[in-house]
């Protein structure tokens, strides 16, 4: 599961990692504690590769109640074609969801509460989760674009903390993932897997991150472990 993440880099830093990305001229506020149902930075597979913002929590086009999105923040990579909420999007509507770190919680011996940990690339560079997106039309005619983060089995680093991790796209997989054409699952399944553990790091952070209203730099600062 991936239930919180951060996207703190400025547009200049983002373009260094993704030089093909079309970005807006305006400043983007750094986010240190992104929670479900909030806007997240994405690129949809619509051809232009333009940065946009979708709601985190997939609302299928057939949904009656948009609240279903709060239960569809993650999609298991192994069962995408088995789930009605994700099957069509996997074939037709894939996206990148930008981040530079994510959180997981671990129960420590002798502690009553779980300790939050922050995971990032050792380089500190931004990266992209593999995601799916949808367009939903409300009964009043409003249009909502939403997305979900695909998860996969954990690498050796994350496995010490959680039994799942978000699917981080390697650079060489981006073109296939953002192909606007329909792609059968057997052309994409091999892309979904854990990111190399030796390129990542993790450290304990403050319990501040437990409250989604806390969205400031202290959320990602390391704390001293006992």
pLDDT value at residue 91: 97
Residue 100's closest CA among 171, 209, 200?
200
2 assigned to active site = yes
Q: What is the pLDDT of residue 16?
A: 95
CB 176 within 8 A of CB 191: yes
**Helix %, strand %, coil % for the chain, to 5?**
25, 35, 45
Residue pLDDT, tens place only, 98-126:
999 999 999 888 778 899 999 999 999 99
Q: Which domains does the chain have, with CATH numbers?
A: 5-102+124-195 (3.90.1680.10)
R_g (Cα) of the chain, nearest Å: 17
Task: Report pLDDT for 225.
Answer: 62
Positive or negative CA dihedral for 157, 160, 161, 166? positive
Please tell me the predicted confidence (pLDDT) of residue 112: 82
Q: What is the pTM of this model?
A: 0.96
Closest CA to 125 of 44, 199, 43: 199
pLDDT tens for each residue of the chain, 226 residues long: 789 999 999 999 999 999 999 998 778 999 999 999 999 999 999 999 999 999 999 999 999 999 999 999 999 999 999 999 999 999 999 999 999 999 999 988 877 889 999 999 999 999 999 999 999 998 888 899 999 999 999 999 999 999 999 999 999 999 999 999 999 999 999 999 999 999 999 999 999 999 999 999 999 999 976 5
Q: In the prediction, which pLDDT does 188 show?
A: 97
Question: What are the contacts of 209-212 at 24+ separation with CB within 8 A?
Answer: 209/4, 209/33, 209/103, 209/116, 209/118, 210/116, 212/4, 212/33, 212/35
**Tokens, residue 15:** 């373009």
**Residue 95 annotated to the active site:** no
Q: Among residues 2, 95, 147, 219, which one is catalytic?
A: 2
Q: Name the one residue in this structure whose structure tokens are 């057997």.
A: 186
Please pick, among 46, 82, 104, 111, the residue that the annotation labels catalytic.
104
Burial of 85 (0-12, 13-18, 19+ CB in 10 A): buried
């Amino acid at each position: 599961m991936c239930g919180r993440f951060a996207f703190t880099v400025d547009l200049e830093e983002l373009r260094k990692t993704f030089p093909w990305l079309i970005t807006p001229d305006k400043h983007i506020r750094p986010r240190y504690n992104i929670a479900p149902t909030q806007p997240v930075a994405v690129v949809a597979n619509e051809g232009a590769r333009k940065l946009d913002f979708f709601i985190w929590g997939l609302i299928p086009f057939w949904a009656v109640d948009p609240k279903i999105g709060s239960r569809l923040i993650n999609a298991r990579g192994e069962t995408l074609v088995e789930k009605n909420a994700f099957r069509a999007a996997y074939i037709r509507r894939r996206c990148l969801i930008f981040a530079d770190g994510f959180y997981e919680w671990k129960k420590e011996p002798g502690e009553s509460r779980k300790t939050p940990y922050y995971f990032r690339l050792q380089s500190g560079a931004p990266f992209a989760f593999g995601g799916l997106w949808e367009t939903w039309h409300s009964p009043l005619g409003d249009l909502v674009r939403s997305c979900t983060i695909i998860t996969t089995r954990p690498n050796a680093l994350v496995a010490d903390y959680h039994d799942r991790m978000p699917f981080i796209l390697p650079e060489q997989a981006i073109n296939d993932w953002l192909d606007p054409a329909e792609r059968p699952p057997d052309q994409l399944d091999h892309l979904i897997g854990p990111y190399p553990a030796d390129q990542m790091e993790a450290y304990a952070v403050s319990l501040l991150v437990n409250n989604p209203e806390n969205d400031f730099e202290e959320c990602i600062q390391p704390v001293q472990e006992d």
